[in-house]
């Protein structure tokens, strides 16, 4: 087979420039991999969720009640837009297991009488469903079973409504209702301390005195039904029975957290891949423009012997496309592997029974198209400049630089060594080239900064939430709001040093057309354990009558201090009041609102009630306290701050470490590619000059020092610019990550900038070592041959 001359030249160029070509290909591969892994993981989670919801009939509307007769279900089912409705009993129990050293809770959910019927159906991992007539058989959630090593056939003790019952585990299952199984009062799933048990209805009805009644309602809507109208109709029916207000999927805890994760993953896809590809385009342009400048005589010769500008341009574009093709193939493989791994991590974290991971050709096609566009865009400008030269001009060497006219003569007046003057004149004479090199290195620094910011922000979130705001050791939440005597009793538990009551009142806040369903927390006016913090992190005094809203809630309602909001309480007397907004607080988890405890009790009209108590304990008596508190009458669940923080750290560390490792690795590849390419191009451009210096008597170390010093200057100048760009990218990512469930604060410590710079400097050192070795291998005779 005869190979065309220009194509043979492409192959020779690839063989000669393979280190630079590989560096460019890896940068392009990083962009492709980022695009594919983000889109692949996002699509896998979205498709898995959609299929799981459809196959197991996940409900659309959810409502909790105090006690309603089963006859109400017929009225709900008859509502316009309701396709199916199910009345359930859902209550909290307390599992007792030998390996439980801290309090745990278990959500008890009744099963329909007919196995496999109803909404929110179970996916059995092991065993079988309970006998509907049994009063001892249960199915438990898979994560809880794994955490405690439980298997079908095992037994355990569960405290229900103050009475201990022995139950037998018949199966282990998953449910679309509890993909994100969050325990009461917890911020992160903790399968050791919270699990789900699905039990026959009669068993729960007897335990909680709900024969012929129900406490929870789930509804599936007909296609095209107006959710808001159905919810309003359901609210009218359940209000007389203590209904706390029906909610759609958007407010269902499991779905809301999964949806927030998907939005954040989508935001990551929109931010990072374009930046990676932009850097790749810059690198292609920088490399190709200098390569073409070095080959201007060859281009002139090709023109002189009859090659058209289009053919020559096609030759260089073919070179770029081959490099881009290698990068795309590497990116395809890395992106598919990383995307599948990331999706599997999410699937385990969110308790999916299966994973739908399809390699959508559209995503790969988009990644290839965008990458090729970026590479070609970087090459076109470089090709156009030289192709415009006539053959005679192109075949002549470029005119020597006039450093005096460019201001380089100023370097002569500075008391520097001759090699240092040469360096300054060279950098000054080519400002665009120097600027593009600085920008390329700066982008590598910026990507690292944007990938490393989150750990510091997470630590700040933990410090503010668990050290400055909520400083209690334990929070006891009662099953129902109780008289203040319950608070007094808790003060006499072993080890209690300080106690503060609180009231949690579910409410709907409205300002104009904006509405949010939240929980207003009433706190003592002089609270010291659970405090409200101002944006400057100073404790805020509780107002006598007004509300303090978190920044996120105030933004969601578009309300400012001094304005008033409509408040509809969703339990008790369901009072409606208008309250002023007295202040704005900082808060990173959920939408928060706080009032002075007595003011909240007056607003609800329910009298003096407390929902629980915050406690500070004597560490030496914590074990005795936990033993007594779990058995205290009326206690629904306990939240131990140390365990919550530990789980919060562990969960975030697992997820963030994976993401950060992937993005830092890709950013490090870009850093090496940018710095190494710059060093190699500088060597190619200055090979003749460096060889001349060797002939004139400069030592190898002195000649190497000139080039390495130039590299060091460019890398040093790039650092502050990279910090600034990375700071902006990180801010954009923080804004994209914010949701109603939690906000990540923007905290950028000096260690982030230092780490990013160290990685880039390490890449520069490795590149310098490689360049130094090549300088020692220069063929002085070959380099000094005249080009005229």
CB atoms within 10 A of CB 14: 16
pLDDT of residue 480: 79
Separation of alpha carbons 189 and 500, rounded Å: 26
Separation of alpha carbons 172 and 191, rounded Å: 14
Per residue in 420-473, pLDDT (tens digit) is 566 666 666 667 777 777 887 888 888 888 878 877 888 888 888 888 888 888
Determine if residue 162 is left, alpha or beta; phi over 0 gives left, psi from -120 to 50 gives alpha, anything else beta: left
Separation of alpha carbons 226 and 85, rounded Å: 16
Pairing type for strands 61-69 and 247-248 reads: antiparallel
Of 42-46, 150-154, 498-502, 503-507, give the lowest mean pLDDT range.
Answer: 42-46
pLDDT of residue 292: 67
pLDDT of residue 599: 92
3-class DSSP assignment, residue 785: coil
- In the sheet that holds 213-221, the strands lie side by side as 82-88, 213-221, 61-69, 247-248
* Averaged pLDDT for residues 709-721: 86
**Which residues, other chains included, contact 317 with Cβ-Cβ below 8 Å and sequence gap of 6+?**
376, 379, 380, 383
Per residue in 224-234, pLDDT (tens digit) is 899 999 999 99
Share of the chain above pLDDT 70, in %: 83
Average per-residue pLDDT for the chain: 81
pLDDT over 90 at 502, yes or no: yes
pLDDT of residue 434: 75
Pair 31, 374: CB distance under 8 Å: yes
Separation of alpha carbons 155 and 151, rounded Å: 9
* Averaged pLDDT for residues 287-310: 73
pLDDT of residue 686: 66
pLDDT of residue 348: 73
pLDDT of residue 153: 92
Q: Could you tell me which residues are beta bridge partners of residue 137? A: 168
pLDDT of residue 82: 94
Per residue in 332-372, pLDDT (tens digit) is 888 888 777 777 777 777 888 888 777 778 778 877 887 78
3-class DSSP assignment, residue 405: coil
Separation of alpha carbons 520 and 508, rounded Å: 9
pLDDT of residue 121: 93
Compare 178 and 766 and report the one with higher pLDDT: 178
How crowded is the C-beta side of 6, counted as CA atoms within 13 Å? 19
pLDDT of residue 786: 45
pLDDT of residue 405: 53
pLDDT over 80 at 108, yes or no: yes
pLDDT category at 787 given cuts 50, 70, 90 is very low
Separation of alpha carbons 604 and 568, rounded Å: 9
Separation of alpha carbons 59 and 109, rounded Å: 15
Separation of alpha carbons 529 and 496, rounded Å: 13
**Which residues, other chains included, contact 306 with Cβ-Cβ below 8 Å and sequence gap of 6+?**
none
Share of the chain above pLDDT 90, in %: 24
Distances (CA, A) of 128 to 29, 116, 179, 744: 48, 11, 20, 42
Compare 649 and 441 and report the one with higher pLDDT: 441
3-class DSSP assignment, residue 15: helix
pLDDT of residue 231: 92
pLDDT category at 392 given cuts 50, 70, 90 is low
Separation of alpha carbons 248 and 227, rounded Å: 7
In total, the chain counts a number of residues equal to 788
Separation of alpha carbons 508 and 694, rounded Å: 80
Q: How many whole angstroms from its chain centre is CA 49?
A: 18
Element (H, E) at 173: strand 163-174
pLDDT category at 788 given cuts 50, 70, 90 is very low
Compare 521 and 459 and report the one with higher pLDDT: 521
Domain ranges of the chain: 61-256, 430-470+642-788, 496-617
pLDDT over 90 at 526, yes or no: no
pLDDT of residue 257: 83
* Averaged pLDDT for residues 731-742: 75
């Amino acid at each position: 087979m005869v190979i065309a001359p220009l194509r043979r030249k492409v192959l020779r160029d690839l063989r000669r420039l393979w280190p630079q070509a590989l560096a460019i290909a890896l940068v392009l591969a990083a962009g492709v991999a980022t695009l594919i892994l983000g889109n692949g993981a996002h699509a896998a989670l979205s498709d898995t969720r959609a299929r799981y919801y459809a196959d197991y009939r996940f409900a659309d509307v959810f409502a909790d009640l105090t006690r309603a007769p089963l006859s109400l279900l017929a009225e709900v089912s008859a509502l316009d837009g309701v396709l199916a409705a199910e009345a359930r009993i859902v209550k909290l129990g307390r599992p007792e297991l030998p390996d439980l050293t801290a309090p745990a809770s278990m959500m008890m959910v009744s099963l329909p009488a007919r196995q496999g019927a109803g909404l929110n159906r179970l996916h059995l991992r092991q065993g079988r469903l309970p006998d509907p007539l049994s009063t001892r058989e249960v199915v438990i959630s898979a994560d809880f079973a794994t955490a405690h090593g439980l298997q079908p056939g095992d037994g355990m003790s569960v405290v229900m409504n103050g009475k201990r019952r022995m139950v037998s585990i018949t199966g282990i299952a998953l449910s679309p209702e509890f993909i994100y199984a969050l325990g009461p009062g917890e911020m992160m799933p903790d399968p050791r301390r919270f699990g789900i048990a699905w039990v026959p209805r009669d068993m729960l009805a007897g335990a909680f005195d709900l024969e012929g009644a129900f406490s929870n309602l789930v509804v599936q809507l007909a296609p095209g039904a107006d959710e808001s109208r159905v919810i309003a109709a359901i609210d009218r029916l359940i209000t007389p029975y203590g209904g706390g207000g029906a909610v759609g999927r958007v407010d269902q805890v499991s779905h809301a957290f999964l949806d927030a994760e998907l939005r954040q993953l989508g935001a990551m896809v929109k931010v990072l891949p374009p930046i990676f590809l932009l850097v790749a385009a810059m690198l292609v342009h920088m490399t190709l423009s200098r390569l073409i400048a070095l080959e201007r005589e060859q281009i002139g010769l090709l023109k002189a012997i009859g090659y058209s500008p289009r053919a020559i341009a096609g030759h260089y574009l073919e070179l770029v496309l081959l490099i881009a093709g290698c990068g795309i193939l590497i990116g395809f493989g890395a992106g598919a592997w990383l995307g599948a791994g990331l999706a599997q991590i999410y699937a385990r974290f969110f308790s999916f029974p299966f994973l739908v991971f399809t390699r959508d050709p559209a995503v790969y096609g988009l990644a290839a198209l965008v990458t090729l566009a970026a590479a070609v865009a970087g090459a076109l400008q470089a090709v156009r400049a030289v192709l415009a030269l006539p053959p005679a001009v192109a075949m002549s060497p470029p005119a020597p630089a006039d450093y005096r006219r460019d201001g380089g003569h100023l370097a002569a007046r500075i008391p520097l060594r001759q090699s240092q003057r040469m360096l300054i004149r060279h950098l000054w004479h080519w400002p665009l080239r120097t600027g593009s090199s600085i920008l390329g290195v700066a982008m590598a620094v910026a990507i690292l900064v944007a990938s490393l910011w989150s750990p510091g922000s997470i630590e700040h979130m933990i410090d503010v939430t668990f050290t400055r705001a909520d400083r209690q050791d334990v929070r006891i939440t009662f099953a129902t709001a109780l008289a203040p005597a319950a608070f007094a009793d808790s003060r006499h538990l072993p080890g209690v040093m300080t106690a503060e009551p609180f009231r949690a009142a579910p409410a709907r806040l409205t300002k104009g057309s904006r509405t949010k369903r939240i929980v207003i927390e009433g706190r003592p006016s002089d609270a010291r354990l659970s405090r409200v913090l101002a944006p400057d992190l100073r404790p805020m005094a509780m107002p006598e009558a007004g509300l303090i809203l978190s920044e996120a809630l105030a933004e969601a309602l578009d309300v400012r201090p001094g304005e008033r909001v409509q408040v509809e309480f969703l339990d008790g007397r369901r009072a409606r009041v208008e309250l002023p907004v007295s202040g704005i607080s900082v808060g990173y988890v959920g939408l928060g609102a706080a009032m002075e405890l007595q003011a909240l009790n007056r607003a609800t009209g329910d009298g003096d009630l407390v929902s629980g108590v915050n406690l500070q304990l004597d560490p030496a008596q914590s074990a005795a306290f936990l033993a007594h508190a779990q058995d205290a009458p009326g206690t629904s669940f306990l939240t131990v701050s140390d365990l919550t923080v530990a789980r919060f750290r562990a969960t975030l560390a697992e997820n963030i470490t994976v993401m950060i490792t992937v993005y830092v690795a890709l950013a490090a590849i870009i850093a090496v590619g940018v710095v190494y390419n710059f060093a190699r191009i500088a060597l190619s451009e200055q090979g003749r000059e460096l060889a001349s210096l060797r002939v004139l008597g400069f030592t190898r170390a002195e000649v190497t020092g000139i080039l390495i010093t130039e590299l060091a200057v460019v890398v040093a100048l790039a650092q502050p610019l990279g910090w600034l760009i990375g700071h902006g990218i990180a801010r954009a990512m923080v804004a994209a990550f914010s949701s109603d469930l939690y906000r990540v604060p923007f905290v950028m410590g000096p260690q982030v900038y230092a780490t990013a710079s160290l990685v880039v400097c390490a890449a520069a050192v490795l590149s310098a070592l490689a360049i130094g070795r090549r300088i020692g291998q220069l063929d002085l005779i070959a380099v000094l041959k005249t080009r005229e």
